[in-house]
Amino acid sequence: MATAAELAELPERPEAPRQTTEFRISRPQIVGPDVPESPFPILLAGPVQQGFGRGGKELGCPTANLPDESITPISSVAKTGVYYGYAQVLPPKDGKTELCQDDIRVHPMVMSLGWNPFYKNKVLTAEIHILHEFKSDFYGYNMNAVVLGYIRPELDYTSREALIDDIEIDKRVALNSLNRPEYEKYRTNSHFDLTCTI
């Protein structure tokens, strides 16, 4: 089984299908079965790294990037695309942080695993957008995530606006899909630190 680092060094990025207006209109608002099925849940953890800086500035969707070695659990069993689940940013052990108590709770998230074909990335990345408004950056902080389902394949886009539209739909689909009892219970999964306080 290839590691994330090996996948990231592939000489050619796979071609992604083009997004179409028909695709957006026909998108379901809830995805996945009522109970997570294999290979889910997939547990991820690692320090948040600086990415390309596009998510927040260009797309209105700031993301936290995980290092290559952290994405091996998902890149070895899942296809590229957009996923949903829960994530938690952990405060430093020394307690020095600008995060507030609400920031370190477990929050819904959407995650892009892939090559970002619109931007022609040359490496495989896992970018997590936590559905919570943080007041400060948390680069270098550890983040835990539980991936629970698949939303859609990775797509290429004819415009940034079309990409932004799909990202907004992804967020709604993630929230709708997590709003089911067998998914909600993962908010208190032992993978998260439910005792941490600032």
Active site residues: 127
Give how far the C-alpha of residue 2 lies from the chain's centroid of Cα atoms, to the nearest Å: 21
Instruction: Spell out a b/e string for 147-178, using b for 16 or more CB atoms within 10 Å of the CB, else e.
Output: bbbbbbebbbbeeeebbeebbebbbebbeebb
Instruction: Output the CA–CA distances (angstroms, integers) from residue 11 to 73, 79, 120, in the order listed.
Output: 22, 18, 13
Rounded to 10 degrees, what is the CA torsion of 177, 178, 183, 186? 150
CA 150 from chain centre, in angstroms, equals 11
CA distances from 72 to 6, 28, 151 (A): 10, 29, 20
Q: Of 138, 43, 60, 130, which Cα lies nearest the Cα of 88?
A: 130
Strands of the 42-47 sheet, one edge to the other = 42-47, 142-153, 81-89, 107-114, 125-130, 64-65
